[in-house]
Amino acid sequence: MSFGRKWGPFFCILASLCLCMADLTRHLVNDSWGTDCSELSDGQSLEIMENGVPKVLPGKYTKYCFSKNVGNEYKDDGSLSAYGWIFSVFCTWSGFVLLFIGICWAINLPGKVRAQWRQIRNLRAARGPLLETA
């Protein structure tokens, strides 16, 4: 048995694993490094609006955080960004296709379907035609 026949299904499924996980990894990177926090300067305090009235937060709140773009899936207009197309569409879908191919290759699905089809056709040929023609 050649190397490709023996290990091909495994490498196909391994590649599908990496491709399917690419978008999830992009989500983790965006969530982990997509927030930037800064210290407040001396004399500054944070406020929140409560029922339309500003309320000063206690002194234990010494940082303010805001979101920054790190591999965002969408652009400002709501369409997919380059990251969205590459990771969410291309990598995920090609990963699922490779997974399907790898599983079918590993279980020899085309050979089994072919053998079953031949068996069905041979049984029909042995029985003769279903309808007699005059």
Q: Supply the pLDDT for residue 19.
A: 97
Query: Helix, strand or coil for residue 62?
Result: coil
Per-residue pLDDT of 91-111, as tens digits, reads 999 999 999 999 999 999 999
Handedness of CA 111, 112, 116, 122 (dihedral sign): positive
Q: Supply the pLDDT for residue 110.
A: 94
Selected residue with higher pLDDT from 97 and 121: 97
Q: Cα separations (Å) of 126 from 63, 115, 117, 120, 123?
A: 83, 16, 14, 10, 5
CA gap 7, 117 in Å, rounded: 27
Query: pLDDT-based confidence at 133, cuts 50/70/90?
Result: low
Query: pLDDT-based confidence at 3, cuts 50/70/90?
Result: very high
Report the pLDDT averaged over residues 80-100: 95
Q: Supply the pLDDT for residue 64.
A: 85
Global pTM? 0.70
Selected residue with higher pLDDT from 12 and 60: 12
Burial degree of 92 (CB within 10 A; 0-12, 13-18, 19+): middle
Tokens encoding 38: 């800064």
